[in-house]
Amino acid sequence: MFKDQVVLVTGGSRGIGLETAKAFHREGARVAIIHSGRELPQEVRDLLSDSFREFACDVSDFAAAGETVAEVVKVFGTIDVLINCAGITRDGLMLSMKEADFDQVIDVNLKGTFNFMKHLYPILMKKRSGKIINLSSIVGLKGNKGQANYAASKAGVLGLTKSVAMELASRNINVNAIAPGFIETDMTQNISEKAKEEMVGAIPMKRKGTPADVAKACLFLASDAASYITGQVLVIDGGLSL
């Protein structure tokens, strides 16, 4: 379905990002995963090939993001799809939240998304085609205690998505967001079993989501089947936000 297309996935070395990168690669895409520079898991190293490449980059660094986009284009010739998955949490009640905790989450989750969209903007405009998919969260839609920084970053991603979708629509470029609910990833491993049970109990479908649930949505939004969809937020939460 994506034969010879080039897909860039930030946060592509773990969790939702890795599952999404693998899904596109299975569909014939050439994939560039962006990671923070820490040692890659063996699973990722086993995937590396001429059509599945890794690039280390601090997504919050504007200049580094530009250099990375240029490097990906040098290797693969172009970029057709951008999926912004890179994200961190620094949870805590506002009373005890440090300024650095707020700044780091905004820098990675929101500014990192801006950085890669900004540097891809002229490439996609010149092509007059392309897809951008930004990972937000249901927390960005409704907030969550102890996650003011994360909620703010993910709400910002939604505003960024809708604004850029309006700018790029006339160039045949689709820009959408996905807002996952409780997805079982390494980011959720630190949650206590009791808290997990309570969260699952609140989900109408009575199960946690998987990275594959989100990856499938990314495949859809990047496909021709979604060519008339832009500026939208696809919620994947098993009904949690109802």
Contact 210, 151 (CB under 8 A): no
Contact 160, 133 (CB under 8 A): no
Q: 């989450």: which residue's tokens?
A: 105
Alpha-carbon span 124 to 108, nearest angstrom: 23
Catalytic pick among 20, 150, 168, 174: 150
Q: What count of residues does the chain have?
A: 242
Q: What is the DSSP string of 136-192?
A: --HHHHH--TT-HHHHHHHHHHHHHHHHHHHHHGGGTEEEEEEEE-SB-SGGGTTS-
Residue 60, helix vs strand vs coil: coil
The two three-digit tokens of residue 192, written as one number: 């206590």
Contact 182, 188 (CB under 8 A): yes
Active site includes 150?
A: yes
Alpha-carbon span 72 to 55, nearest angstrom: 8
Rounded to the nearest 10 degrees, the angle between the axes of helix 112-127 and helix 62-76 is 40
Alpha-carbon Rg for the chain in angstroms = 17
Q: What is the DSSP string of 211-223?
A: HHHHHHHHHHHTS
Contacts of 102 (CB under 8 A, 6+ apart): 90, 148, 149, 152
- Residues classed as catalytic: 150
